[in-house]
Amino acid sequence: MIQHCPTPTELDDLELLVSGAYAPLTRFNEQGSPVTLTLPDGAAEAELVDPEGLPLARVAADGSLEPLTHAQYGPFRRLHLTPAQAREQHAGATWVPVVDALTEADLDDLRGRGRVVLLALMGTGTSALSPVALVRATLAASDLLDDASAVAVPLPSHGDAEADHALGTQVVGTYAGGDPVHALPSRWLSSERSERVETDSFPDTIAAIVDEDQPTPEEQGLVLFFTGLSGSGKSTLARALMDLLLEQGGRSVTSLDGDVVRRHLSAGLTFSKADRETNIRRIGWVAAEIARHGGVAVCSPIAPFAETREQVREMVEAAGGAFFLVHVATPLEECERRDRKGLYAKARAGEIPEFTGISSPYEEPDDPAVRVDTTGRSIEDALDDVLVALDEAGYLHLTRTDG
């Protein structure tokens, strides 16, 4: 039996299936259910493991589960109660589903309702806040109420507002049993979720959590991802931008140049399509971790495949960072004319297999943040295109100093 680490959404679903929160649903892939699991290479069954390799359950061909253990670690793990545990501890309370930080008005509405349990629905994609921040904000809210407790429920979004609303209603009802449920309809799994309330309508303790979790673009971790053909000028542009960031200071900056990464992070990989994609995903993972901690990562691989670039974007955004894609769109003819390393000549002679632009495709980005052609332009002039786009997006406000 193969081992398989599910996606974050599938891991959330697994926990809720095993805990009974999805009852009467007990398995993956039931007809009409959004709770699905995709196994690799068409496998019919597998041992499901967490990202650290801990076996959590076995899944059979029919989607049924044999639990092995539960997740051992993670922030606020102590608050992940099963519905049975939650009802035993909080019988008779009013149950309040929460998918956003509670405002002063929300808290006023809950005061005088007796004992309440705030169900933080902190699964993947459900809240505008990160899962940890949602629980922190919910705990802060419970401290401001007379008699309140918090329970963490990893209810994820499945990308279908109607199905998610129905599933959320079912899960909250399972936790509440026969006790009353107090919904916050404006921000509870709404298909037209209201615009985020202004920070000043939050209590101070909650506002501080929201501000930390949702920094302004100028403070947000940022991945500057330059992609283009060999010889397009992407590495030179990336280095020029890196130098400017270091000269002006104020941000922690890391360079993840394609050739440098190949020597240190991806030594041993070939230039096959599979290994090139692995190299880009490694760059993406490191860049996402830099962004997670508020830093700026400047990446300049060729990254020829749209699917892999999108995977990097998803990693960065899941880490709370911003992904800024720069397509250095210098035409192949100009790149080949430059050919400082003689690579195109070798590729034309058949000495380098699967060479991007010659014997392997380059998939141009459909929606880069900025597109730059360096043909006949100085690096300073081309860099200005990037600086203007960064300024307009609000991420960086840099001034190039000539001489």
Q: Which residues are annotated as a binding site?
A: 228-235
Q: Give the Cα separation of 193 and 184 in Å (integer).
A: 11
Residue pair 296/224 in contact by the 8 Å Cβ criterion: yes
* Alpha-carbon gap, residue 290 to 194, rounded angstroms: 31
CA distance 208 to 226: 34
Q: How far apart are CA 37 and CA 40, in angstroms?
A: 10
- As annotated, the binding site for ATP includes 228-235
For residue 335, give every residue at least 6 positions away whose Cβ sits within 8 Å of its Cβ, in sequence order, or none: 229, 230, 231, 232, 344, 357
In three state form, how does the secondary structure of 169-202 look?
A: HHHHHHHHCCCCECCCHHHCCCCCCCCCCCHHHC
Task: Please name which of 56, 146, 34 lies closest in space to residue 94, comparing C-alpha atoms.
Answer: 146
Phi, psi torsion values for 372, nearest 5 degrees:
-130, 130
Burial of 194 per CB tally in 10 Å (0-12, 13-18, 19+): exposed
CA distance 161 to 318: 20
- Evaluate whether 365 touches 227 at the Cβ level (below 8 Å): yes
Burial class (CB in 10 A: 0-12, 13-18, 19+), 61: exposed
Give dist(CA 112, CA 115) in Å, integer: 9
Report how far apart, in Å, the C-alpha atoms of 248 and of each of 99, 101, 251, 253 are.
39, 36, 9, 11
Could you tell me which of 267, 272, 287 has the C-alpha nearest to residue 227?
Answer: 287
